Amino acid sequence: MHNTRLRRLHVLGLTAGAVMVLAACGGGPASSSSGGSPATAQSAADAGGLNALVTAAKKEGKLNVIALPPDWANYGAIISGFTAKYGIPIDSANPNGSSQDEVNAVQQLAGTSRAPDVLDVGMAVALANTNLFAPYKVTSWGDILDSQKEATGLWFQDYGGYMSIGYDSSKVPTITSIQDLLKPEFKGKVALNGDPTKANAALNGVMMASLANGGSLDDISKGVDFFHQLKQKGNFVPVQATTATVKNGSTPVVFDWDYLSAAHGTDVPTWKVFVPSNAILGGYYAQAINKQAPHPAAARLWMEYLYSDEGQNLWLKGLARPVRMDAMQKKGTLDKAAAAKLPPVNGKPVFLSADQATNAKNYLADHWAQAIG
């Protein structure tokens, strides 16, 4: 990027960033940030190049992440990969936390050295908390579609998948349509990954059921009715699905994102993932950098790592669809073997818009407890 116009934009961006930092300095962290440009940069070029960023990050010496379980989209390998490549240890806190827990931690631990540096949150939480984020554009910014990122870099989507029904084929018969779940063979066997008034994955699970039962993205009521039917028949079990309950057979059928569901395959070789052809509901998560990160340079380096070919392919190995997938396929840098293992999906996926998600959660807040109680 030797274009003078771009360079002027970068200076503008850096100044804007500096002004923001000065404005935020009132309650800013007392420790860590060296105050140099890599720590407040809005892109790698801002920071003086990737190497300068690496040096600054190594000087900070640590990275705090939160709510990244090792079996979630292969984060275990990503964390160890980052540490191996740059020698920066990572502190992984609260692995079972929700997106809201991440935001709560950012607010509650602000100013301490344990505050999270980076966040991986659902879209609803990302959109509601942009005041907590610092803008940053990764080197491969252009590969991300405009609809999947915030214009100034406050948040940007990272990976996604499709809502699916995972099941243990040794305990229940093969599922070819969502209506199969109403059969008596599924008595006491069907679970959602969480409560839809609380967890993003569960809300999408109910929405997928709605789509598969004649509802639409604006109408989640058919999904709620479906689960009510499941409950009446005694097929629905309210237990929180974990790897242990899946393996032990308490929850042999789980509505969950396909990449999370596929992770059960390591413990249960007979695990299969089914996406209904008339209800391909996609969902992406988003990355963001904490404006008051105790290790800001390391946070930016982490983003660069995640959006590099290496990082994206690691997500792919976790059976999640990385956001740069199409671009990487065109450039030929996609891990073809891993891509081949993705659950087959025939049809065009749909995504919930922010408004549709809001309508869905309002409907659920009013009706879910009665339907399932």
Number of residues this chain uses to bind another protein (CB under 8 A): 76
Q: Is 248 in the site for another protein (CB under 8 A)?
A: yes
Of 24, 273, 16, the C-alpha closest to 137 is: 16
H runs (alpha helix) in the chain: 4-24, 37-40, 50-60, 75-86, 99-108, 123-128, 200-212, 221-233, 243-248, 258-262, 296-306, 309-317, 325-331, 336-340, 354-372
194-213: contacts with another protein (CB under 8 A): 194-200, 203
Q: Kindly report the three-state secondary structure assignment for every residue of 303-342.
A: HHHHCCHHHHHHHHHCCCEECCHHHHHHHCCCCHHHHHCC
Member of 48, 71, 229, 233 binding another protein (CB under 8 A): 71
Helix (H, G, I), strand (E, B) or coil at 194: coil
Place of tokens 């009665």: 370
What value does the CA radius of gyration of the chain take, rounded to a whole number of Å?
Answer: 21
Q: Is 174 in the site for another protein (CB under 8 A)?
A: no
The smaller minimum CB distance to another protein, of residues 28 and 48, is found at: 28
Tokens of 202: 């569960």
The smaller minimum CB distance to another protein, of residues 203 and 289, is found at: 203
Q: Is 59 in the site for another protein (CB under 8 A)?
A: no
Member of 15, 34, 80, 170 binding another protein (CB under 8 A): 170
Member of 48, 69, 343, 349 binding another protein (CB under 8 A): 69
Helix (H, G, I), strand (E, B) or coil at 258: helix
Binding mask 1-40 for another protein (x = CB under 8 A): -----------------------------x----------
Q: Which stretch binds another protein (CB under 8 A): 78-86, 148-156, 174-182, 245-253?
A: 245-253
The smaller minimum CB distance to another protein, of residues 14 and 118, is found at: 118
Q: Is 81 in the site for another protein (CB under 8 A)?
A: no
Of 261, 299, 250, the C-alpha closest to 106 is: 299
Q: Is 99 in the site for another protein (CB under 8 A)?
A: yes
Member of 9, 16, 19, 369 binding another protein (CB under 8 A): 369
